[in-house]
Amino acid sequence: MKNGKVIAVAGKGGTGKTAIAALLLRELLSVHGDQTTSILAIDADADSNLPDALGVACEKSVGDIREQLLEEKQRNIALDLRSQFEGKISAIMAEEDRYDLLVMGRPEGPGCYCPVNHLIRVIIDTAAQNYEYTIIDCEAGLEHLSRRTTRDVDIMLVVLDTTQKSIKTALRLQEIAREIDVDVKKLLIVANKIPEGAAEEFQAIASSYGIELDEIIPFDPLIIEYDSKGRPVVELPDDSPAVRAVRRIAEKIRSGKTL
- For the segment 200-236, what is each residue's pLDDT rounded down to a tens digit? 999 999 999 999 999 999 999 999 999 999 999 999 9
pLDDT (tens digit, 9 = 90+) per residue, 158-193?
A: 999 999 999 999 998 888 777 765 677 888 999 999
The residue range of the domain holding 155 is 5-59+94-255
Q: Give the Cα separation of 209 and 174 in Å (integer).
A: 12
Query: Domain for residue 86, yes or no?
Result: no
Query: Domain for residue 160, yes or no?
Result: yes
Q: Give the Cα separation of 227 and 199 in Å (integer).
A: 24
Query: Domain for residue 88, yes or no?
Result: no
For the chain, the domain total comes to 1
Query: Domain for residue 66, yes or no?
Result: no
Tell me the percentage of the chain whose pLDDT exceeds 70: 85
Q: Which of 80-94, 120-134, 185-199, 245-259 shows the highest mean pLDDT?
A: 185-199
Whole-number average pLDDT of the chain: 84
Average pLDDT estimate for 88-112: 77
Residue 108's pLDDT band (cuts 50, 70, 90): low
Direct distance between the N- and C-terminal alpha carbons of the chain, in angstroms, rounded to an integer:
18
Residues facing residue 109 across a β-bridge: 112
Query: Domain for residue 189, yes or no?
Result: yes
pLDDT (tens digit, 9 = 90+) per residue, 11-59?
A: 998 999 999 999 999 999 998 877 778 999 999 887 789 999 999 988 8
Query: Domain for residue 21, yes or no?
Result: yes
Query: Domain for residue 76, yes or no?
Result: no
Query: Domain for residue 203, yes or no?
Result: yes
Residue 105's pLDDT band (cuts 50, 70, 90): confident
pLDDT above 70 (res 250): yes
Q: What CATH number did the domain enclosing 149 receive?
A: 3.40.50.300
